[in-house]
Structure 1
Amino acid sequence: MIIFGHRSTHLKSAQLRNVKCPNCETQDQMTASVYGRHVHIFWIPIFPAGKTGVFECQHCHKGFKKKGLGEDGKLAYKNFKSTVKTPLWKYSGLAIIALLICWGFYASKQKDNRVAELVKQPAMFDKYTFKTETGYFSTFKVVEVFQDSMYINYNNYETDRRTGVDDIDLKKNYSDEIYVLTNKDILSMHNRGDIEDIERK
């Protein structure tokens, strides 16, 4: 399956005035067609990649490349090409990428705000995803909440990827041993950026 490549689409055609056909020398019968190239991924245009011209004499029906035209033809084509605008849809891939980036920043900011609020008001059954001292990722669950601390069960496993947390978040992986974390401990973890997420049912 081709997921990346180039593609050309027809943009505009016009008859070039005061231009003779290099083959039959008939004047005012040369037609120029401008094609716009663009880079695509999964057939979604990402950005334009230039324009090219195709020429045909309507009298003798012979086709030419730009280099096959005379100087008058090249000048006429240059003037015509300057009037051909690149359609906005050829930038649609860039627009989608920009929107995804903006959405990612917004979603990240919303998550950070939610985590900041949940840290201040811990509740039973909260599940914390956090960075370990070794730089890996793991989880712990809140068993009971007190005024200034909480009881938790740690996950016995760690993962080197944030996205791998779901794979280790299994009931059998949590220790039966109870640990104590104070509210100050949790706030310190949050301030250091060690708390990645908090899930509350």
Structure 2
Amino acid sequence: MIFYGTNASRLKDGRLSNVICPNCNEQTSMTYSVFGKYAYIYWIPIFPLGKTNVLECNNCKRTYKLKELPQQIQQKFELEKHTGVPIKHFAGIGVIALIIAGISYSSFKHKEDEAKYIVDPMIGDVYSTETTSSGYFTTAKVAKVTNDSVFVIFNDYEIDKKHSTSEIDKAENYKTENMEGYTLNELQQLYKDEVIYNIERD
């Protein structure tokens, strides 16, 4: 279950002097509070949704939203130095940005590692590859490496989800009769053509 919604936090309190309350018609002062509204997911603020200003007459205790008051009181309120949007109301955006940056770096680093793996194969490397059956994918595990050749054992199973081949990457799914040999150049060309699209190394 995803918990999301809106909330508000108090940003500032203050006082307006020498104003006439529309309710009691007395010249008095008004206490005000500025609330910052924000959207959240799992109680983490994601982005601000504006501000709400609430004023209270110190004589009759009637409360108002700013827009309910006469123009002269609104103008006096606007002359006050009000706080901006707090950084914490953008906390969720920062968290999301960090997650995206982390995923991007991880993907970049993995591709960088793959570039090394494909020129220097090792026994146990697992290649995710598209099968001859359109729309299906499988894995092949490196079983033997010579000076210019690489021998792989193909997985007995195929899957229709490109990035879920780890689900079928199990030791019992590789049988030696499914072994095939490739020159190093052939293997590198398959990677370049994205027939081999992922390489995992323990």
Using structure 1 for the length normalisation, give the TM-score. 0.90
Question: What SS class does the counterpart of residue 150 from structure 2 fall into?
Answer: strand
Answer whether contact 2:126 2:200 (CA < 8 A) is retained: yes
- Residue number in structure 2 paired with 1:180: 181
- Residue number in structure 2 paired with 1:69: 69
How many Å apart are 1:50 and its aligned residue?
Answer: 0.6
How many Å apart are 1:94 and its aligned residue?
Answer: 0.6
* Consecutive unaligned residues in structure 2, runs of 5 or more: none
Distance 1:163 1:191, change over 3 A: closer
Distance of 1:90 and 1:46 partners within structure 2: 6
Answer whether contact 2:12 2:82 (CA < 8 A) is retained: no
Question: What SS class does the counterpart of residue 17 from structure 1 fall into?
Answer: strand
- Residue number in structure 2 paired with 1:44: 44
User: Percent identity among equivalent residues?
Assistant: 35
Q: How does 1:105-120 map to 2 (within 5 A)?
A: 105-120=104-119
How many Å apart are 1:163 and its aligned residue?
Answer: 4.3
- Residue number in structure 1 paired with 2:88: 89
Distance 1:2 1:193, change over 3 A: closer
Structure 1 stretch displaced more, 158-167 or 39-48: 158-167
Using structure 2 for the length normalisation, give the TM-score. 0.89
- Residue number in structure 2 paired with 1:31: 31
- Residue number in structure 1 paired with 2:124: 125
State how many pairs are aligned. 200
- Residue number in structure 2 paired with 1:189: 190
- Residue number in structure 2 paired with 1:7: 7
- Residue number in structure 2 paired with 1:150: 150
Distance of 2:76 and 2:98 partners within structure 1: 40
- Residue number in structure 2 paired with 1:166: 166
Distance of 1:87 and 1:118 partners within structure 2: 47
- Per-residue Cα deviation, 1:16-48 (whole angstroms, up to 9, x for no partner): 233221112233421121111111111110110
Give the letter for the 1:105 counterpart: S
Distance of 1:29 and 1:17 partners within structure 2: 4
Give the letter for the 1:110 counterpart: K
Give the letter for the 1:182 counterpart: T
- 1:102 pairs with 2:104: no
- Residue number in structure 1 paired with 2:200: 199
* Consecutive unaligned residues in structure 1, runs of 5 or more: none
Answer whether contact 1:16 1:76 (CA < 8 A) is retained: yes
Structure 1 stretch displaced more, 177-186 or 110-119: 177-186
How many Å apart are 1:196 and its aligned residue?
Answer: 3.5
Question: What SS class does the counterpart of residue 90 from structure 2 fall into?
Answer: helix
Question: What SS class does the counterpart of residue 23 from structure 2 fall into?
Answer: coil
- Residue number in structure 2 paired with 1:21: 21
Distance of 2:14 and 2:48 partners within structure 1: 21
Distance of 2:63 and 2:100 partners within structure 1: 45
Structure 1 stretch displaced more, 142-151 or 86-95: 142-151
